[in-house]
Every structure is written in structure tokens, then in C-alpha cells.
Amino acid sequence: MTTPEIRVQGLHKSFGDNHVLRGIDLEIAQGEVVCVIGPSGSGKSTLLRCVNLLEEPTEGQVFVGGTEVTDPDVDIDAVRRRIGMVFQQFNLFPHLSVTENLTLPQRRVLRRDKAAAERVAAENLARVGLAEKAGAYPSALSGGQQQRVAIARALAMGPEVMLFDEPTSALDPELVGDVLAVMRSLAREGMTMMVVTHEMSFAREVADRVVFMDGGVIVEQGRPEQVIGAPRHERTRHFLSRILDPAMAEVEEGVADQGGTG
């Protein structure tokens, strides 16, 4: 077996007294698509952000492509170039045009010359179906378009791994599809992807593996049809019932509240 693209070992993360990640072990193979699901506050974002060291783990190790990210002597900027990240809030650079959003990082970080950077930018804008928006500014784009530009910006750096943190959660429902379509084709091209999402149909269709997190640990993981279709753990079943039928969740919460106060 080849070395995994991402390896997380004994990962703990605390914010002060808040022990958010309580021992995570996870391996993601090259070209594998892993969807991470779980209730709010379970530590999904924190796990993702520990992989490219936006958060410093309190304990444990993270390897990406064989390099130990958590090694204090590692050139973290160099490692991050190999890891693309897509945020819930897009985080496009608002003072730059769409093309400049893609070319500036290539030129400043990868030291590509202007012509090469522009060629790569055009390729990747075409890849996400936004070639005609090259000259626009982010504020003139819809949320779905902004998120696709953000994906193109990450891809333009030629990453080996892509991390997605709820990429469609800030979007109007009718714009979700376009972003998921881009991610689907990326998965088909063999990109290694770690996706935090609440889109169960996407997870079911695209993921090779689904990881369910709760309370800072991985509760269960496996093929999507198994984790989503026939969950083994009560906590997973509970979470899925709330996600798949939000109306039910409200009733449950109401009952719980009454129990708590009365």
C-alpha cells in the first residue's frame, strides 16, 4: 500500500479549557474523497484547519504527502502551497479582480511570471465555468460564482490536496448545485479531497468514505451508503434524522427544552 496523502495521528486540540478535538486518527489515500459530517461544534472545522495548520494542534501529528506538517522545523508556507483550502465565506480578495485573485498568489508565492500566471488563471476559470467573469470584481458576483472563483484560486496553485469547509453553507439553495458540480468533476479527476459538508446527497454520491464526528472524536466512518444509509451508532442516527428531516428536529428540541425547564 502506498503512503496515505493525509495522515492524522492522535490529534488533540484545546482552546483554553475547551477540549475540542479529543484524539483523532484518520488516513486519506491519494485520490480519495472523504466527507466529514457531524453536529455544529463537533470540531469538523478545527480538524480541517489543523491539517493545514491554520490551527496549531495541542497534541498529535499531521502528515500531508509524507511531510510532517506539525514538525516545528517544517517550512509551513511551502507545505500550504500543496494544500488548497476553500472556506464557507469564500474569502476572495475584494480589492482584486477575479483574474488578479488567481494571479497574485501564483506570482507572489510561486514566483510565476505574469504570462504563465494568467494562462493558469484562465485555465482554472474555464474549469469552474467562469471564463467570462475574468475581469469582474468579487462584489459583482453571486455567492455561487464567488465560491467557484475561490475554488479556481486554490486550484491555480496546483495543490495535491483540497480541503473544503462547508463550501455551500453560505449559498442560496439554487446556487448550491453549480458549486457541487465543480467539486464533483474535481473528484472525478482524482483530486484528494476532504470535505466538511451538510449536503448528504453529495456525500452519498461522490464520497469514497464518510466520517461522522461528534464531541471531538470520530464516532463512525465507512462507505457512504453504510454511514448514511445504515448508521451503526445511535448518535449518528440521531444526527442524520435531524439533517434529513429538519422539521422533526424542531419538535425534538422543543420536547428537550420542556424536559430541561420543567
Ligand X SMILES: Nc1ncnc2c1ncn2[C@@H]1O[C@H](COP(=O)(O)OP(=O)(O)OP(=O)(O)O)[C@@H](O)[C@H]1O
Which residues form the interface with ligand X (CB under 6 A)? 15, 18, 20, 38, 40-46
Contacts of 21 (CB under 8 A, 6+ apart): 11, 12, 13, 43, 46, 47, 50, 57, 216
Does residue 81 interact with other proteins by CB under 8 A?
A: yes
Considering the complex, state which of residue 3 and residue 89 has its C-beta at the smaller distance from ligand X. 89
Does residue 154 interact with other proteins by CB under 8 A?
A: yes
- Minimum Å gap between C-beta 63 and other proteins is 18
Does residue 67 interact with other proteins by CB under 8 A?
A: no
Three-point CA angle 124, 202, 105, nearest 5°? 25
Does residue 74 interact with other proteins by CB under 8 A?
A: no
Decide which of other proteins, ligand X, Mg ion, none touches 46; Cβ closer than 5 to 8 Å per partner kind: ligand X
Distance CA 148, CA 164 (A): 12
Does residue 167 interact with other proteins by CB under 8 A?
A: no
Strands across the sheet with 192-196, in order?
A: 83-86, 161-165, 192-196, 33-37, 209-214, 217-222
Does residue 138 interact with other proteins by CB under 8 A?
A: no
Q: Residue 106: exposed, middle, or buried by beta-carbon count in 10 A (0-12, 13-18, 19+)? A: buried
- Scanning 38-46, 148-156, 220-228, 235-243 for contacts with Mg ion by CB under 5 A, the matching segment is 38-46
Does residue 42 interact with Mg ion by CB under 5 A?
A: no
